[in-house]
Amino acid sequence: MTMMDELTLLGQGATKPERKLEAFPNAHPNRRYTVRLETNEFTAVCPMTGQPDFAHLIVEYIPREKIVESKSFKLYIWSLMSFLTIWWRRSTRTGAA
């Protein structure tokens, strides 16, 4: 069994939003180093105007036992965009989800 065997999203051809963060074992848990995940693909709907908002997200952390897999991070962010839009519409009753 390799350290990547637990990953189910990596290497899949078709992608869709997925509210699942996957991680793999840190090969060097005793070393102190920074992992950086970055995306400029985050969009959300502005609660005041209904127009799209864009964001550049940067997540930096020092891993311990596991490291977040970057594709699952991207798919998770994608799912969050859908979730926030539905949540806003329901909480303000500005439209059907």
Question: What would the pLDDT profile of 40-88 be if each residue is shown by its tens digit?
Answer: 888 877 777 878 888 898 999 999 999 999 888 988 888 887 666 666 5
5 is catalytic: no
Catalytic residue from among 3, 35, 46, 57: 46
74 is catalytic: no
At 16, is the pLDDT very low, low, confident or very high (cuts 50, 70, 90)? confident
| Phi, psi for 2 (deg, rounded to 5) | -95, 170
**What contacts 55, CB < 8 A, 6 or more positions away?**
40, 42, 43, 44
The whole-model pTM stands at: 0.67
Catalytic residue from among 6, 40, 53, 87: 53
In contact, 63 and 89? CB cutoff 8 Å? no
